Structure 1
Amino acid sequence: MSPPHVLVLTCDDDPHADHVRRLLDRRGARTTVFDNRDYLLRAHVELAYTARGLARRLLHTESGTLDLDSLTALWWRRPGWPEAHPAITDPSVAEYAVREGVHLISDLWEHLTCRMVPARESVFQRAEHKPSQLTLAAELGFEIPETLIATQADALWDFHNRHDGRIVTKTLGLPRVENLAAGHTVIRKCDFVSARDLAYAEALRFCPVIVQEYVPKRLELRVTVVGRRVFAAEIHSQDSNRAMVDWRRYDLGGTPHLVHRLPDEVAERCLAMTDRLGLSYGAFDLVLTPDDRYVFLEINPNGQWLWIEELTGLPISEAVCDLLLEGA
């Protein structure tokens, strides 16, 4: 019997994928790493059909040829986007080539018959939509922050006044803005709305944003669901001025991380939400308030976990391996 074969879609610099690959190797599994960015540059896809249907699906790379129908699992981690070959000098032709490349490569991964983690691309991309997450979370019994998503200044001012100014904003989707001309990237975190922000409220009409009441925190929780297993870690973000509003402004030396005993009903809601979203993996961000209420903020279908594992000892990576090899 052939060993399990896992295809990992990710970029070059991915410590999470590197760590899991080492664990899979120890278990005797075969792993292949591919970045969508290399398609059109250094890799080729071959799809062949007969009158009866699909005959073969092959991925040719510099390291060899992979029969995609031999895979037992595909792990969609963090691949890039296809790029035009540098031999194409016309920008409009290059853009067309990339669009066609994305069309093919996305459809290719979508229709493989092996296990998909966290899900098929179309499924986990839909699961990333924060408005839908909030609706589903409330439906499943989670408490959620009072939230406004709008492009009208008056709505923002009314929301600000109703909550005595204790409101925060965050992005609907991408947390970063890349200015290629200037050569820098701006990372957008969760932030309080300041008086200066209100002065520019009319600019809200150009781009939607999520506005939420600020939820008082005793602890923040990162709850990682892997298959049917739930790993909860508490992040003592209020111990650090830097991480107090958004723990992603990492201050690991000043922010204790500990294993958290999650109430059974909260764990069940997390499992129910991943089920409803069609995910086999999900990283939840919750708040535990000073009066012991668990408040849902969001779920990330491809959220990071390695720092949690290193600081708490929770065996999340081994669980990811179990998930990738399940049924192989």
Structure 2
Amino acid sequence: MAWGGRPVLVVSRLDDATADEVITELNRRRVPVVRLDPGDFPAAVTVNATFGGFGSAGTLVTETRTVDLDGVRSVYWRRPTPYTADLAMSEQTARWAVEEARYGLGGTLAALPGAHYVNHPWRNRDAEFKPAQLATAARCGLTVPATLITNDPDKARVFALAHRPVLYKPFRQTEYTDAGGRALTVWIEDVDPEQIDDRVRHTAHLFQRRVPKTADIRLTAVGEHLFAVRIDGSPGVDWRRHYDSLTYTPVRVPSEVAKGVRAYLDAFGLVFGAFDFGLDPDGRWHWYECNPNGQWAWFPDHITSPITAALADQLQYGGNA
């Protein structure tokens, strides 16, 4: 089969194994792919976008490819690096230039005419806020553990006593380093009421009743396809800390969960979502969160292959997949 047709634009950093899986599959299908990291702008990326009564047009130019803005078939929005500015600029000028790039190039990438987005970056942004996730999941009929968001230590202690055992969860995985520049991760942790003190006042905290789970479940949704995997073997509350101990088993999705997941995706306008659940001894699925741009490429091949194919279908065939 010859290469040809409208290209797929993959927006991500170079070291993205998840994007690599999908690109490899698209290459196997002879679907043209252009990879772009907005963090390379303006040093290695040039944008020329025109707008008017005729619509919008123009080009994106990388070090190796040129793509017509009105010719992009679909966009796989993954994990681009942050926008940057010339190091010679003053701090204030650099900050201004970065924001101009975000709204100029970023706005252009979010407005490609006729392109199918997986997911649209603004839908990803909207769906990243935990309070909105919690409210939407409950409204969609998913089982949500009792949760408190607060900066009031007294309310936090009352909640922890009423719902113990209780977990602390960060709102997002914000980059954090120690004094030596070493990257740190803020994990999900158990919280005793006695641990809660006035430091809670410094910012918003999320406390949640710990589900008496027998296993974790990661459900990856791609369009109408739902891929659920039971995760066993985690010795702690956060299975992401124990990859070497885990086993994975594909499982069927209960109809009521499938209905809630699809309603959730529709509510946020998402094509893709990585949902986390806890499975209790009665077989009930308790919703934890949905990462609108979650990882899945660490699974064994027999699990990743159908997810890769479903994503490639979305990007190759658009909303008709």
TM-score range, shorter chain: over 0.9
What corresponds to 1:189 in structure 2?
A: 187
What corresponds to 2:256 in structure 1?
A: 265
Deviations 1:51-79 (A, max 9, x none): x3545321122113221211100110110
Deviations 1:260-292 (A, max 9, x none): 122122112111211111000001001110122
**Contact 1:36 / 1:80 at 8 angstroms: preserved in 2?**
yes
- Letter of the structure 1 residue corresponding to residue 237 of structure 2: V
Give TM-score scaled by structure 2 length. Answer: 0.92
Deviation at 1:43, TM superposition (A): 1.3
Of stretches 63-72 and 281-290 in structure 1, the one that deviates more from structure 2 is: 63-72
Question: What residue ranges of structure 2 are gaps of 5+ in the alignment?
Answer: none
What corresponds to 2:104 in structure 1?
A: 104
What corresponds to 1:277 in structure 2?
A: 268
Structure 1 residues 56, 312: closer, same or farther in 2, change over 3 A? closer
SS of the residue aligned with 1:318? helix
What corresponds to 2:291 in structure 1?
A: 300
Does residue 82 of structure 1 match 2:83?
yes
What corresponds to 1:172 in structure 2?
A: 171
Structure 1 residues 65, 251: closer, same or farther in 2, change over 3 A? closer
SS of the residue aligned with 2:82? coil
**Contact 1:57 / 1:69 at 8 angstroms: preserved in 2?**
yes
Structure 1 residues 46, 172: closer, same or farther in 2, change over 3 A? same
- Letter of the structure 2 residue corresponding to residue 248 of structure 1: R
SS of the residue aligned with 2:113? coil
Does residue 133 of structure 1 match 2:133?
yes
What corresponds to 2:241 in structure 1?
A: 249
Alpha-carbon distance in structure 2 between the residues aligned to 1:293 and 1:56: 50
Number of residues paired by the alignment?
Answer: 317
**Contact 1:231 / 1:314 at 8 angstroms: preserved in 2?**
no
Alpha-carbon distance in structure 2 between the residues aligned to 1:147 and 1:35: 37
- Letter of the structure 1 residue corresponding to residue 146 of structure 2: E
Deviation at 1:114, TM superposition (A): 3.5
- Letter of the structure 1 residue corresponding to residue 120 of structure 2: R
Alpha-carbon distance in structure 2 between the residues aligned to 1:63 and 1:83: 20
What corresponds to 1:23 in structure 2?
A: 25
Give TM-score scaled by structure 1 length. Answer: 0.91
Alpha-carbon distance in structure 2 between the residues aligned to 1:264 and 1:18: 32
Alpha-carbon distance in structure 2 between the residues aligned to 1:130 and 1:116: 26
Question: What residue ranges of structure 1 are gaps of 5+ in the alignment?
Answer: none
Structure 1 residues 30, 314: closer, same or farther in 2, change over 3 A? closer
RMSD: 2.0
SS of the residue aligned with 1:326? helix
Does residue 325 of structure 1 match 2:321?
no
Of stretches 6-15 and 101-110 in structure 1, the one that deviates more from structure 2 is: 101-110
**Contact 1:4 / 1:325 at 8 angstroms: preserved in 2?**
no
Deviations 1:121-171 (A, max 9, x none): 11221011111111111112111110000010101110111124x111111
Deviation at 1:41, TM superposition (A): 1.9
Deviation at 1:295, TM superposition (A): 0.5
Deviation at 1:118, TM superposition (A): 2.7
Deviations 1:239-262 (A, max 9, x none): 332xx201111333x221111122
Alpha-carbon distance in structure 2 between the residues aligned to 1:38 and 1:248: 30
Does residue 40 of structure 1 match 2:60?
no
Deviation at 1:48, TM superposition (A): 2.7
- Letter of the structure 2 residue corresponding to residue 219 of structure 1: A
